[in-house]
Amino acid sequence: NKYCKRDYAIMARVLSQIENNDDEHTKGWVRYMINVEFVYKKAKDSRIRKGTMPMLIPATDLACKCPKIRANRSYLFLGREKDDSPGGIVTGSLGVTQRSIVIEWRDEWDQRMRRFRRRARKCK
């Protein structure tokens, strides 16, 4: 299942898009500031923590607008921290690629995500 195949599953609110992105490592990527509100799953060596952190998305992926990332909205993010993204280069950043799953959050999903977390012990 998609939950088991990902390194992390978080619910986070998008705070803002950072317009000025002159960093050499993140050229071609759009930087957002997110507030991680709940961590459902993460790897043991993960950098993901509750609180504010930068998130990077390829500019080409934003063109499809699926979903359109908006400030002051919460999303469910599932992905792999080790994917080829500047998230690994820019310390403390979360890289979101085409292999990641981003869905606008619905409050009724909280119970379902907690159930996935309990079942995750059986993931292979």
Instruction: For residue 78, give its domain range.
Output: 8-122
The per-residue pLDDT for 99 is 83
Taking a C-beta distance cutoff of 8 angstroms, is the pair 93, 54 a contact?
yes
Domain assignment of residue 90, yes or no:
yes
Residues 64-77 have a mean pLDDT of 84
The per-residue pLDDT for 13 is 97
The per-residue pLDDT for 83 is 61
How many whole angstroms separate alpha carbon 71 and alpha carbon 24?
Answer: 25
The per-residue pLDDT for 116 is 82
Split at pLDDT 50, 70, 90, the class of 66 is low
The per-residue pLDDT for 59 is 80
Domain assignment of residue 2, yes or no:
no
Domain assignment of residue 1, yes or no:
no
More reliable by pLDDT, 19 or 48: 48
Q: Sheet of 94-95: strands edge to edge?
A: 94-95, 51-58, 29-41, 8-18, 74-79, 101-104
Q: Number of structural domains, the chain?
A: 1
pTM: 0.81
Split at pLDDT 50, 70, 90, the class of 110 is confident
Domain assignment of residue 26, yes or no:
yes
pLDDT for residue 85 is more than 90? no
Residue 70: give its domain's CATH number. 2.40.50.120
Domain assignment of residue 3, yes or no:
no
E-assigned strand segments in the chain: 8-18, 29-41, 51-58, 74-79, 94-95, 101-104
The per-residue pLDDT for 4 is 73
The per-residue pLDDT for 26 is 64
Residues 42-67 have a mean pLDDT of 82
